[in-house]
């Protein structure tokens, strides 16, 4: 049953001989003169030896000493169970560090902490020849420690394995483990330490290589399992919040759902959820400013990560609109009634549309159409983009493009557009409303300087301004010009990749700003000694810039909600970030050391304006450069194991509580030594 | 260094002054005896009986009330101080030595008594009186007392205060103050001896001295104890528990001495040998000052 790793060391058992000899020639009694024996006589005459074992007390001392020596020798020869000797095990330990492992179990410890303790015990029990690897499964499969026999390395790796807010990527981790073990499958095993809150449980359990050990007990949990925010399609400053709350407990639960925007409470929804029930709420509210929108449920359950969800509500910036008109009351009223329009009225057409805004031209159009986004109503004269012809013979609306956002929600069938003229375009257009002869009555045109929207219809002669379709038509046009910006910023579920559309204009202005400064002293020095590794990259970047067909390469810095940051390099405008392992607001920033540039040139008056602008931006969370991430995962929020799990305690038994036999023998020996010392050296036994 | 060096003598002088100035002789000397006689301090009246000395008749009372009353006065006389010094072998132990310590205390008390014109007798004893310095008076006798004490050696095979007390009461011409300086490790018990003195109207004062080692022994393990006084031996195994019990027993022994003395209104002083002897004397003086 037993074999010994170092049988030669059994010679140390010969130590028992001198111990017995020393015992036999035990030290003679010391003689001690005292003034009187009065008290000693009283003391010893009162209580005479009563028990038989007291007669054998010295023998017990000898036995304890001999047992100590034999146990020590036993530890030195290092006994092994026969199965330990025969099996040179290779283990891949899959440590589940997904979000559900952050649940606080009985005893106030997280499941991950308990799993780590078990894992450390397993690492300590490694025998010579055994190998173990550590792979974490939270969000993605990460090999923390490759196959090794070094227990300390494994224990450090286990201790450093971080908790994540992501769901378990178990299949990926199993594939990694199998790859690690593929060269020798026999005597290999994959040990999964998990709480059982995993998908595909049966499939995983059917794998003969895997043993699943359970951590923690089934716990009740109320969670936010779906959360998205979007701007309302009907209201330019409105927004809709979609929230799903699930009760994963066994009893009915009551809670309150609180919605707050930038820490101001927006809504409180009381909810009553039956066991296992999910309730979805769509909440409508308005805000032009946008910001950080938080949903929180009032629940004191085991897992707090899913009691909280965050999203970014895009800001709706006012659109500067310049109306050039001799006095169209209907048009003016419609534009003024739109909440996000900053209207300016003039009778002289400017050379271009306001920056980032819209120019509305009524009737009189300059021969050279102004640059920028232009909305044209009832053009009376020709321009470089079209020629105005005769009035249409039958200005009746015959066909409306239903799929275009410019004509959505309007009904104009068989409506007359009196005064509508025949327009001949010099550039391709998309006709949205046509007369029976297919002549365009409403069209949109794409051009380099800015898109153009043209409606040929006399507002004075027709009843169009009196119809409900008119304000809707203008609203559609304004929103089309405004674009989709600020409509929806999807919340990224943890564990997935975040596709982040870089605000390129902003990034380019940052880059221009940064490169407009003279180089710092460090950069100059680096250049001198040729240490600036970015030189080549810059040169190649310049080359790329000159070639417009190749997307520009951008260096970005991604900051996680917990403050960790990492650098990424992106080709083009779309950055793929992740997998996302933390809940909260992630920010992306251009990897430009603006602060140091600003510090070096703060006194330069020529840059004063730029410096002021950058100062305002530094240290501020710009939600255009951010995205939100939440757990919102049914599987992780349901804190009940999906199937039968092996108890983690049994893993401790297999590994003898995480220690080798020699350790326990030494421990028992030490105990015996302490007992002997306490009883005899401290003279407890008289 | 001799037992009574110049430093010691200086301390004696100091103690003598303190006893006179501060305590006004309340410790030993200048004490009024309880006998009534021919003193000058009025005590009380008694009825006249034929044959009484007419000089002491209170004529004022007779003139006022017509009663014949005789005035009584408190008689003043010297106090006899008997110092019973235990010189058994049990006293020859510890550091500082218990025997030397006892002799210094005896010397100090004798000096104070002689300075206050009292009579002093020193009886060194073990199982019986071994050396006796008869009653003596006058400060000029100090040196002979110191010589006597210096020449004493530990002796005897046991301690028996009862026998010594009997011997003292038989020898003493008059009653007086008896100061017992001993460790009181009396095999027969010290109470019998003190009782004899009490019954014979002596005023016993007990000074029990012991060493720190005796109160808190540092023995541990298997030892053979050798009693210095009797030569008796005992093999024992001393454990922590036994040490605790010993300490408890010793505390009980000391408190029994105190209880006994309190019961019979006797002065009692306990001390370890590490306490300077002059401190002990001062402590006794203070205690006496409070009592008288």
Mean pLDDT rounded to a whole number for chain B: 84
Instruction: In whole angstroms, give the CA distance from residue A285 to residue A229.
Output: 11
Cβ atoms within 10 Å of A263's Cβ, excluding its own: 8
pLDDT at A542 over 60: no
Query: With an 8 Å Cβ cutoff, are B238 and A44 in contact?
Result: no
CB-nearest partner of A34 from B98, B226, B242: B226
Residue B236 at interface with chain A, using a CB cutoff of 8 Å: yes
Q: What is the mean pLDDT of residues A350-373?
A: 91
Q: What is the mean pLDDT of residues A100-123?
A: 89
- Nearest Cα residue in chain B from A29: B223
A72-76, A570-574, B179-183: which range is least confident on average?
A: A570-574
pLDDT in tens, B60-75: 999 999 999 988 876 5
Distance from the B17 Cα atom to the nearest Cα atom in chain A, whole angstroms: 36
Find, among A248, A297, A293, A294, the residue nearest to A269 by Cα.
Answer: A297
Distance from the B187 Cα atom to the nearest Cα atom in chain A, whole angstroms: 7
Q: What is the mean pLDDT of residues A17-25?
A: 80
- Nearest Cα residue in chain B from A48: B236
Residue B160 at interface with chain A, using a CB cutoff of 8 Å: no
pLDDT at B290 over 70: no
Q: What pLDDT sits at residue B234? A: 86
Find, among A657, A676, A645, A580, the residue nearest to A214 by Cα.
Answer: A645
Longest dimension (CA), chain B: 86
Query: With an 8 Å Cβ cutoff, are B187 and A38 in contact?
Result: yes
Instruction: In whole angstroms, give the CA distance from residue B121 to residue B132.
Output: 8
Q: Which residues of A touch B185 (CB under 8 A)?
A: 35-36, 38
DSSP per position, B117-165: T-EEEEEEESSSEEEEEEEEESGGGHHHHHHHHHT-----SS--HHHHH
The kind and range of the H/E element at A131 are strand A131-136
- Nearest Cα residue in chain B from A47: B242
The kind and range of the H/E element at A508 are helix A504-515
Burial of A277 (0-12, 13-18, 19+ CB in 10 A): middle
Which residue's structure tokens are 């009553």? A272
Strand partners, A295: A259, A309
- Nearest Cα residue in chain A from B241: A684
Distance from the B241 Cα atom to the nearest Cα atom in chain A, whole angstroms: 7
Query: With an 8 Å Cβ cutoff, are B240 and A682 in contact?
Result: yes
DSSP per position, A143-191: EEEEEE--HHHHHHHHHHPPP-SSPB-HHHHHHHHHHHHTT--TTEEEE
Residue B116 at interface with chain A, using a CB cutoff of 8 Å: no
Q: Extract the runs of DSSP E, i.e. beta strands, from A19-85.
A: 30-34, 79-81
pLDDT grade for B28, boundaries at 50, 70 and 90? very low
Q: What pLDDT sits at residue B150? A: 92
Query: With an 8 Å Cβ cutoff, are A683 and B232 in contact?
Result: no
Complex ipTM value: 0.81
Residue A289 tokens read as 């400013």
pLDDT grade for A508, boundaries at 50, 70 and 90? low
Instruction: In whole angstroms, give the CA distance from residue A648 to residue A117.
Output: 10
pLDDT at B149 over 70: yes
- Nearest Cα residue in chain B from A31: B224
pLDDT in tens, A24-34: 766 567 788 89
Residue A471 tokens read as 């304000």
Residue B247 tokens read as 């300490």
Percent residues over pLDDT 90 in chain A: 33
Distance from the A35 Cα atom to the nearest Cα atom in chain B, whole angstroms: 4
Residue B141 at interface with chain A, using a CB cutoff of 8 Å: no
pLDDT in tens, B231-246: 888 888 888 888 999 9
pLDDT in tens, B40-61: 667 788 889 888 888 888 999 9
pLDDT in tens, A314-357: 877 788 999 999 888 889 999 998 888 899 999 889 989 998 89
Q: What is the mean pLDDT of residues A514-521?
A: 47
pLDDT at B10 over 90: no
Q: Cβ neighbours of residue A527 under 8 Å, at least 6 residues apart?
A: A519, A535
CB-nearest partner of A37 from B217, B221, B232: B232
pLDDT at A658 over 60: no
pLDDT in tens, A267-297: 999 999 999 999 999 999 988 888 899 999 9
Residue B17 at interface with chain A, using a CB cutoff of 8 Å: no
Which residue's structure tokens are 């494994």? A154
Q: What pLDDT sits at residue A582? A: 93
Strand partners, A134: A93, A145
The kind and range of the H/E element at B46 are strand B41-47
Q: Which residues of B touch A40 (CB under 8 A)?
A: 225, 234, 236, 246
A52-56, A178-182, A451-455, B110-114: which range is least confident on average?
A: A52-56
- Contact between residue A420 and residue A456 where contact means Cβ atoms under 8 Å apart: yes
Give the Cα-Cα-Cα angle A318, A323, A324 (nearest 5 degrees).
Answer: 160
pLDDT grade for A64, boundaries at 50, 70 and 90? confident
Residue A399 phi/psi, 5° resolution? -140, 130
Query: With an 8 Å Cβ cutoff, are B98 and A35 in contact?
Result: yes
Q: Which residues of B touch A37 (CB under 8 A)?
A: 225, 227, 230, 232, 234
pLDDT at A65 over 70: yes
CB-nearest partner of A29 from B98, B217, B224: B224
Residue A217 tokens read as 């007990």
Query: Please, what is the end-to-end C-alpha distance for chain A in angstroms?
Result: 42
pLDDT at B210 over 90: yes
* Residue B221 or residue A673, greater confidence: A673
- Nearest Cα residue in chain B from A36: B227
Instruction: In whole angstroms, give the CA distance from residue B132 to residue B195.
Output: 21
- Using DSSP, how many helices (H) and how many strands (E) does chain A show? 19, 33
Q: Cα dist. A297→A247, A278, A627, A637 in Å? A: 11, 14, 21, 14
pLDDT grade for A543, boundaries at 50, 70 and 90? very low
Residue A45 at interface with chain B, using a CB cutoff of 8 Å: no
Length of chain B measured in residues: 292
Query: With an 8 Å Cβ cutoff, are A684 and B94 in contact?
Result: no
Residue A17 at interface with chain B, using a CB cutoff of 8 Å: no
- Nearest Cα residue in chain B from A35: B90
Longest dimension (CA), chain A: 144
Percent residues over pLDDT 70 in chain A: 81
Distance from the B181 Cα atom to the nearest Cα atom in chain A, whole angstroms: 16
Distance from the A27 Cα atom to the nearest Cα atom in chain B, whole angstroms: 9
Q: What pLDDT sits at residue B23? A: 41
A397-401, A538-542, A584-588, B133-137: which range is least confident on average?
A: A538-542
Residue A682 at interface with chain B, using a CB cutoff of 8 Å: yes
* Residue B221 or residue A437, greater confidence: A437
pLDDT in tens, A151-198: 889 999 999 999 999 999 999 999 999 998 888 767 788 999 999 888
Helix, strand, coil in percent for chain B, rounding step 5: 40, 25, 30
Query: With an 8 Å Cβ cutoff, are A683 and B227 in contact?
Result: no
pLDDT in tens, B14-24: 777 776 544 44
Give the HSE-up count for residue A552: Cα atoms under 13 Å, Cβ half-sphere: 15
- Contact between residue A469 and residue A412 where contact means Cβ atoms under 8 Å apart: yes
Query: With an 8 Å Cβ cutoff, are B249 and A39 in contact?
Result: yes
pLDDT grade for A682, boundaries at 50, 70 and 90? low
Mean pLDDT rounded to a whole number for chain A: 82
Burial of A686 (0-12, 13-18, 19+ CB in 10 A): middle
pLDDT at A307 over 90: yes
Distance from the B184 Cα atom to the nearest Cα atom in chain A, whole angstroms: 10
Instruction: In whole angstroms, give the CA distance from residue B244 to residue A59.
Output: 26
Q: Which residues of A touch B234 (CB under 8 A)?
A: 37, 40-41, 44
* Residue A387 or residue A510, greater confidence: A387
CB-nearest partner of B242 from A29, A33, A43: A43
Number of inter-chain CB pairs under 8 A, A vs B: 90
Q: What pLDDT sits at residue B139? A: 85
CB-nearest partner of B234 from A37, A682, A686: A37
Query: With an 8 Å Cβ cutoff, are B234 and A43 in contact?
Result: no
Helix, strand, coil in percent for chain A, rounding step 5: 35, 30, 40
Query: With an 8 Å Cβ cutoff, are A29 and B229 in contact?
Result: no
pLDDT grade for A99, boundaries at 50, 70 and 90? very high
Residue B282 tokens read as 């001062």
Q: Which residues of A touch B235 (CB under 8 A)?
A: 29
Which phi-psi region, left, alpha or beta, contains residue A139 (left: φ > 0; alpha: ψ -120 to 50)? Answer: left
pLDDT at A581 over 50: yes
pLDDT at A525 over 90: no
Give the Cα-Cα-Cα angle A603, A604, A607 (nearest 5 degrees).
Answer: 125
Task: Report strand pairing: A553-559 vs A584-590.
Answer: antiparallel
Q: Cα dist. B156→A324, A511, B104 in Å? A: 138, 111, 20
Residue A522 tokens read as 């460090």
């Amino acid at each position: 049953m037993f074999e010994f790793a170092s049988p030669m060391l059994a010679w140390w058992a010969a130590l028992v001989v001198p111990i017995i000899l020393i015992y036999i020639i035990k030290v003679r009694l010391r003689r001690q003169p005292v003034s009187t024996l009065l008290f000693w006589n009283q003391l010893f005459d009162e209580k005479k030896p009563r028990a038989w074992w007291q007669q054998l007390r010295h023998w017990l001392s000898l036995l304890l000493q001999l047992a100590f020596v034999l146990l020590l020798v036993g530890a030195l020869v290092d006994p092994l169970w026969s199965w330990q000797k025969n099996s040179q095990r290779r283990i891949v330990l899959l440590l589940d560090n997904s979000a559900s492992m952050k649940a606080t179990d009985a005893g106030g410890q997280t499941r991950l902490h308990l799993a780590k303790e078990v894992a450390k015990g397993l690492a300590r029990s490694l025998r010579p020849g055994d190998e173990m690897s550590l792979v974490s499964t939270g969000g993605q499969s990460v090999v923390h420690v490759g196959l090794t026999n070094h227990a300390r390395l494994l224990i450090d790796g286990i201790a450093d394995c971080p908790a994540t807010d992501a769901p378990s990527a178990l299949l990926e981790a199993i594939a990694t483990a199998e790859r690690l073990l593929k060269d020798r499958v026999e005597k290999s095993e994959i040990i999964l330490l998990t709480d059982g809150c995993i998908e595909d449980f049966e499939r995983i359990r059917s794998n003969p290589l895997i043993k699943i050990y359970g951590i923690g007990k089934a716990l009740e949990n109320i969670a936010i399992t779906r959360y998205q925010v979007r701007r309302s399609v009907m209201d330019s400053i409105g927004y809709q919040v979609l929230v799903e709350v699930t009760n994963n407990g066994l009893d009915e639960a009551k809670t309150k759902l609180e919605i707050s925007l930038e820490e101001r409470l927006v809504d409180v929804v009381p909810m009553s959820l039956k066991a296992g029930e999910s309730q979805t709420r769509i909440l409508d509210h308005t805000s032009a400013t946008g910001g950080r929108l938080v949903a929180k449920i009032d629940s004191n359950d085991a897992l707090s990560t899913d009691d909280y969800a965050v999203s970014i509500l895009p800001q709706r910036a006012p659109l500067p609109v310049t109306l050039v008109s001799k006095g169209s009351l209907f048009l003016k009223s419609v534009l003024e009634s739109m909440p996000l329009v900053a209207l300016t009225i003039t009778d002289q057409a400017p050379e271009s549309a306001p920056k980032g805004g819209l120019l509305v031209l009524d009737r009189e159009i300059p021969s050279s159409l102004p640059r920028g986004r232009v909305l044209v109503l009832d053009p009376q004269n020709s321009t470089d983009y079209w020629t105005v012809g005769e009035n249409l013979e039958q200005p009746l609306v015959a066909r409306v493009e239903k799929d275009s956002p410019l004509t959505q929600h309007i009904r104009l069938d068989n409506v007359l557009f009196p005064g509508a003229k025949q327009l001949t375009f010099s550039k391709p257009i998309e006709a949205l409303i046509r007369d029976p002869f297919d002549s365009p009555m409403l069209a949109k045109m794409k051009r380099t300087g800015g898109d153009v929207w043209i409606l040929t219809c006399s507002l004075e002669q027709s009843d169009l301004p009196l119809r409900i379709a008119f304000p809707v038509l203008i609203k559609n046009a304004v929103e089309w010009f405004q674009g989709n910006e600020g409509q929806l910023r999807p919340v990224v579920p943890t564990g997935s990749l975040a596709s982040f559309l870089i605000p390129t204009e902003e990034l380019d202005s940052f880059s221009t700003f940064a490169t407009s400064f003279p180089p710092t002293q460090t950069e100059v020095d680096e250049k001198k000694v040729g240490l600036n590794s970015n030189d080549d990259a810059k040169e190649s970047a310049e080359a790329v810039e000159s070639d417009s067909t190749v997307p520009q390469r951008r260096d970005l810095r991604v900051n996680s909600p917990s403050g960790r940051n990492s650098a990424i390099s992106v080709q083009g405008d779309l950055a793929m970030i992740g997998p996302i392992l933390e809940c909260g607001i992630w920010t992306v920033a251009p990897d430009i050391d603006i602060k140091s540039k600003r510090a070096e040139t703060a006194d330069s008056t020529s840059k004063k304006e730029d410096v002021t602008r950058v100062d305002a931006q530094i240290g501020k969370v710009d939600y255009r450069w951010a995205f939100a991430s939440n757990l919102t995962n049914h599987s992780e929020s349901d804190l009940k194991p999906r199937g039968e799990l092996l108890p983690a305690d049994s893993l401790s038994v297999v590994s003898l509580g995480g220690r080798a036999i020699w350790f326990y023998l030494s421990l028992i020996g030490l105990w015996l030594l302490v007992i002997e010392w306490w009883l005899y050296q401290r003279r407890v036994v008289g | 260094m001799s037992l009574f060096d110049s430093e010691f003598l200086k301390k004696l002088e100091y103690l003598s002054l303190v006893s006179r100035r501060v305590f006004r002789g309340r410790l030993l000397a200048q004490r009024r005896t309880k006998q009534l006689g021919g003193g000058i301090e009025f005590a009380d009246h008694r009825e006249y009986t034929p044959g009484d000395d007419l000089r002491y008749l209170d004529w004022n009372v007779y003139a006022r009330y017509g009663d014949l009353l005789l005035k009584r006065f408190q008689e003043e006389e010297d106090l006899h101080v008997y110092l019973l010094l235990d010189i058994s072998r049990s006293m020859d132990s510890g550091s500082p030595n218990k025997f030397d310590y006892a002799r210094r205390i005896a010397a100090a008390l004798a000096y104070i008594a002689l300075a206050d014109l009292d009579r002093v007798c020193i009886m060194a004893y073990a199982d019986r009186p071994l050396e006796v310095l008869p009653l003596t008076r006058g400060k000029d006798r100090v040196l002979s007392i110191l010589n006597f004490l210096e020449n004493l050696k530990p002796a005897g095979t046991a301690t028996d205060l009862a026998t010594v007390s009997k011997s003292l009461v038989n020898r003493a011409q008059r009653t007086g103050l008896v100061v017992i300086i001993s460790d009181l490790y009396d095999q027969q018990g010290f109470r019998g001896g003190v009782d004899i003195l009490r019954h014979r109207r002596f005023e016993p004062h007990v000074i029990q001295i012991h060493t720190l080692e005796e109160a808190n022994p540092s023995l541990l393990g298997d030892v053979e104890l050798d009693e210095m006084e009797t030569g008796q031996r005992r093999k024992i195994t001393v454990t922590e528990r036994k040490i605790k019990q010993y300490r408890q027993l010793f505390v009980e022994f000391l408190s029994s001495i105190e209880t006994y003395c309190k019961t019979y209104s006797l002065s009692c002083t306990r001390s370890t040998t590490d306490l300077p002897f002059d401190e002990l004397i001062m402590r006794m003086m203070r205690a006496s000052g409070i009592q008288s």
